[in-house]
Amino acid sequence: MQGVETVDLTNPASFAEGPPHAFYDWLREEHPVWWHPSETLCAPGFWVVTRYHDVIAVERDWRTFSSGARGALLEDQQAGTELMMLNQDPPQHTRLRNLVARAFTPKVIRSLEPHIREAARRIVDRVAGRDEVIDFVTELSAELPLVVIAELLGIPIEDRHKVFEWSNKMIGANDPEYGTGGMEAASAASLELYAYAQGLADARRERPLDDIVTMLVNAELDGERLSDVEFNVFVLLLSVAGNETTRNLISGGMLALFEHPEEYERLRADPEGLLPTAVDEMLRWVSPVRYFRRTVTADTELHGVPLRAGDALTVQYAAANRDPRVFDDPHRFDVGRTPNEHIAFGGRGPHYCLGAALAKVEIVAMFDEILRRLPDLRRAGAPQYLQSTLINGIRHLPVRFTPER
């Protein structure tokens, strides 16, 4: 390989300086289906798929590329997670997805929007008067996704910090700061969250309210309803899937603006006109989920490379979202980019992100508030990246601004 070093995608430390784009480019152009040897995670290794159209083809062909066989992550599945829809194939997946999709209809999302706007306002209220360096991640981007999931599930305010902590422990198991307890703390956190979810479900069965949890635990669809354990696992999935992704999109999107001052200026000059395209560009640029895994179910081939039944394979969203076959000048950050058919929410298969519309409402609300209220928000130090093989995240991003009077 010329001038590009192979990156170990199974080592969280490989992401300490951000996503390895030079490596992704090399793979996408030279080895679109590359065998990643591994002695630790997923030994003896797995295929790495980096081209946009290949990611979509793999995700759509769920019969050949299964999520159910061994799960959607490189890590071995923990007991119970096979009940998560992310780790299932149709028809089990379809049943579960139809049951929970009722919590994500356009009507539900419209009804949440005023709360989301209000929550974004309160978050900015808390920092707007401060004349000091603050951490963008903990003070601005971390809170909203958490509040929204808590709102969606009817979790009382006083319990929200617990859900935040459990979620941090589960996602950052191998990050030096978040995951001090490693996998053990992550498993303990997920057990606590299950128990908490069970309490929520029990409370709503006893005293039904006009809310989503009541709907999820009581309502039937074609004679089907969620079992207790399915509900608990769904709460766990939401707490991880909806939280870290959105938080890191907001942080990473802000960092992209700092790194591209002309684009930042353009957006500030016309937030109403440009926010919708800017948010999609942030999603493409950041790609908060790096990869998901599939398992090959029958011998097949891709670009002439033979894949064997049982092989593990990953689709790499961050690489696909910079595929020059689809995106003009893909390494340019352009807040007005159109078209922009990025696949940060997945490659349009059965697992396409259930929370995509909700996430966009959150991101728009947050940037709308930030751009108006903290117009000279600027970087006051280097970002510290989250060391995770799954999530492209930022742990800390010091910023400052002229305080609001």
Residues at the contact surface with ligand HEM, assessed by CB under 6 A? 59, 85-86, 97, 149, 237-238, 241-242, 245-246, 249, 288-289, 292, 317, 344-347, 349, 351-355, 358-359
Nearer to ligand HEM, 94 or 402 (CB): 94
Q: What is the identity of the amino acid at 63?
A: R
Cβ 254 to ligand HEM shortest distance, Å? 13
Give the C-alpha separation, 173 to 180, whole Å: 7
Cβ 30 to ligand HEM shortest distance, Å? 25
Nearer to ligand HEM, 36 or 247 (CB): 247
Cβ 49 to ligand HEM shortest distance, Å? 13
Strands 394-396 and 384-385, by their bridges, are antiparallel
Cβ 364 to ligand HEM shortest distance, Å? 12
Cβ 370 to ligand HEM shortest distance, Å? 16
Cβ 346 to ligand HEM shortest distance, Å? 2
Nearer to ligand HEM, 264 or 345 (CB): 345
Nearer to ligand HEM, 178 or 285 (CB): 285
Of 126, 128, 114, residue with least CA distance to 365: 114
- At residue 342, the 3 state secondary structure works out as coil
Give the C-alpha separation, 9 to 291, whole Å: 10
State the DSSP code for 104.
Answer: G
Nearer to ligand HEM, 32 or 346 (CB): 346
- At residue 2, the 3 state secondary structure works out as coil
Residue nearest to ligand HEM (CB): 355
- At residue 320, the 3 state secondary structure works out as helix
Nearer to ligand HEM, 155 or 185 (CB): 155
Bridge partners, residue 402, by sequence: none
Cβ 294 to ligand HEM shortest distance, Å? 9
Give me the helices (H) in 61-181, please.
92-100, 106-128, 136, 143-153, 160-171
Of 267, 91, 73, residue with least CA distance to 170: 73
Nearer to ligand HEM, 85 or 326 (CB): 85
- What ranges make up the beta strands (E) of 50-198? 65-66, 134-135
Read off the tokens for 74: 């490189």
Whether residue 196 contacts residue 162, with contact meaning beta carbons closer than 8 Å, is answered with yes
